[in-house]
Structure 1
Amino acid sequence: MSRDYANRKPRAGAKARAPQRKKAPKRSFPYFAVFVILTLLSGFGYFLWSINGSSDSPVTSEQVQQPKKKTVQAVAADAPKKVVKKDPNALPPKPQEEWTYLEELENKQVEIDLPQSGVVSSGIYQMQCGSFRQESQANEMKARIAFQGAEAQVRRSEGTNGIWYRVVLGPYPNKREAEHNRHKMQSAGLNGCIIWLWE
């Protein structure tokens, strides 16, 4: 059995209850806050009253003295001095040179011990960067070397295995210059250069 609570009629003896509202609590007067504010205001007013006359202190008779007679030196010292204004763009004075190493090194001699090498060469060095069957290939490499700022020669040689065209640089008076040019060629991509002694 189901009950219909929505359409149910109230009982005859029961009274309808009205919703009750809660009463707001009564606010008391903020005595403490008013007391603190009045205390602060009165303290600030007393502070202003106490500093009111401090700047106008009276001059005592001890502080007032008769002016002394000044000497000529004192008058000259009290005279207004001329103020020299500095230019903000002015350069500072040139510093004095205090270097002594120039005089010390003027008469010095430097001795260097070089290691003795076992091989003493009396010839001239040359460098070969290529050997070709066709002269056109040798001339092409010669042009590549010329772009690096060096001068090469194409030399024709005949041997048991036929005719070859060699690309040669030099002669160099020492091996150091030849090595320098070989490093120059290596940086340009020519890695096949060989240094040999031509006597």
Structure 2
Amino acid sequence: MARQDYAQKRRRGTSASRSTPKRQPPKPPVRRKPWWPKALLTLAALVGLIYLLKILITTGPQTQTGTETQPARTPAQSPAPARPAESIQVEPALPAEPAVVTPEIPPPPDAPEARFDFYDILPRSEVQGPQNVYHSTPRDAPDQSRYLLQTGSFRAETDAERMRAELLLSGLPNVHTSRVEGDNGIWYRVRTGPFNTRTELNRARNQLANLGISPLPIPLD
């Protein structure tokens, strides 16, 4: 009986142990490491790499240019051979020509007949002019010939009268028209004058020139 009780207890214990599993202790929480140390390390590595590349880029072309820009050595120029001194030809000096001395000739003595007194010559040197001496005439002296000035000749009488009125307004003296019949037909002439002196004639010519008219002088007997 005692063995049966022991066996039953043992079975109960094993069944109880099998039926109720043991609780495992909870795992401690995992501690996460901070992220900023890794970020600092990667940033420092990038900065170092960039700096290294920059140094390589800047130092590379300098070494190449340093090797390329070395000045080429120019060969020493040999001195040019000295030219022989040119021989200078000296012409022999010509003998000086003797100076020609001309003897002084004394002036001939004055002849006694050539000597005259000034007061004896003066009365003899008087020149008597001709009696009929030319006398200049004054500028405004009346000329023997008189002139008319013909200012135009027209086929139509109205054209001649128009010029006559224009000349009268300009102050020309004795402006008149005349009717002339010839082989070419009838003409109407416009004239001014007569003028007794050259001064009056030239004054009338200047007035007509200012009007754009070139007159024709006609002498009167």
- Output the TM-score relative to the length of structure 2: 0.36
Where is the helix percentage greater, Structure 1 or Structure 2? 2
Could you say which structure has the larger radius of gyration?
A: 2
